[in-house]
Chains A and B, each alone.
Chain A
Amino acid sequence: MKLTLEFGGGLELLCDSVKIHHVNVEPQAGESKLTMKHLLSWVRTNLIKERPEMFMKGDSVRPGVLVLVNDCDWELSGQLDTNLEDKDIVVFISTLHGG
């Protein structure tokens, strides 16, 4: 399914300084729906070109990275279990910075 991924707050530096990515991701083999968990590992493998530890810690994003699915905090939709649909917009913003 087609998704739009945005990186902000400095995370774009890990993806060759490209902020917006239009990608095509398929659910895992055997699964009918695409979950955030699968998307995260897909992003780490395919989009993050350097310092993956700045983006992810274990299975989830590094603490301090905000995730918005269609402008809604992913904590409200189940975090890693959030189901994604075609044409969804996922935004990753790092809050680890000065002001």
Chain B
Amino acid sequence: MAWIYSFCRLMKASRGTVMTLLKLLKEMKFRPAHLCWHGMGVGAGSVSDAVRKIWYGLPLKVVSYKDLYGWTMDEIVKLIGLKNNCTFCGVFRRQALDRGATLLKVDKLVTGHNADDIAETVLLNILRGDIARLSRCTSITTGEDGPIPRCKPFKYTYEKEIVMYAYFKRLDYFSTECIYSPNAYRGFAREFIKDLERIRPRAILDIIKSGEDFRISTSTKMPEQGNCERCGYISSQKWCKACVLLEGLNRGLPKLGIGRSRGANNELSKNAKEAKGIDSIQSKQCGTLDF
């Protein structure tokens, strides 16, 4: 049983990649069991409807941030402003994927990340100096030792190829813009990659190859994987990022968990003193695995 999910990224979100993925899997006689869509705020309703119409006869489960965390993206953006939206959305989405997958009891999680996405991620991690992610981001499968392994079958497929395939096969293709993304940092990496592609198209695959060939020095301290104390999700800190962000939202501290921090706990204790004066919003628990 495979579980397919479509990822909304950046400026425009289209379901082209996932539709192509579904069509290919069907042609290969795979039996994809579930398609899960993610409701994301304004426009989510219309996108879900569109996905419902063209799901190639697969069961569809819609999961929303509101159900899992008690907050929609619109509410979050109202609180935090127009910066760092991708941080919240990305963290919540990743967890939502896993929680939805656990709910549906799937064996594998497949996403539509393409070569352009992976190349952008490699560049982003270099620009941010994120060694831990850099070592993991080019793996085609991740989490094999965990409950639900993930896979990116389109890792070496250019976005252009996917679009051409979808166009010539007349796959239903629709685009909705992610309205929170104009200031996303990924946009800079994307512009650069696109300019590179124009000059030398192989550059994208070369960046991925470089990312794969990185070797981290053994003396570098790497974060260790443990479990979140609050919800049990995997985490390298005491609390997982989603719990930290959610705590910030519930306490009216939009900056909690954003930017350089020396661990969730330092920030929490520091902000606990600031927060005493703020009216407490009813605390909403981060989704648990016993959904």
Contacts and interface: CB of A to CB of B under 8 A. Distances in A.
A8 interface: yes
16 contacts: A9-B12, A9-B14, A9-B173, A10-B177, A62-B194, A63-B195, A64-B194, A66-B160, A93-B167, A96-B12, A97-B10, A97-B12, A99-B6, A99-B16, A99-B21, A99-B113
Contacts of A28: none
B222 interface: no
Interface in A4-54: 8-10, 13
A73 B190 CA distance: 22
Interface in A80-95: 91, 93-95
A63 B197 contact: yes
Contacts of A59: none
A13 B14 contact: no
Nearest to B177: A10
Contacts of A64: 190, 194, 197
Nearest to B19: A99
Interface string B56-82: 000000000000000000000000000
A78 interface: no
Contact of A98 (B14, B154, B163, B164): B14
Interface of B: 6-18, 20-21, 112-114, 117, 154, 159-160, 162-164, 167-168, 173, 175, 177-178, 190-191, 194-195, 197-198
Given A97-B175, A99-B15, A63 B194 contact: yes
A98 B178 contact: yes
Given A10-B175, A96-B10, A99-B17, A66 B197 contact: no
A98 B14 CA distance: 5
Contact of B167 (A8, A63, A98): A8
A63 B191 CA distance: 8
A98 B7 contact: yes
A86 B21 CA distance: 37
Given A8-B173, A9-B12, A98 B17 contact: yes
Given A93-B167, A96-B12, 6 more contacts: A9-B12, A64-B197, A94-B12, A98-B6, A98-B14, A99-B20
Given A9-B173, A13-B177, A64-B194, A97 B164 contact: no
Given A9-B14, A10-B177, A63-B197, A98 B168 contact: no
Nearest to B21: A99
Contact of B11 (A71, A93, A96): A96
A99 B7 contact: yes
Nearest to A12: B175
B41 to A, nearest CB: 15
Contacts of B190: 64, 96
A9 B175 contact: yes
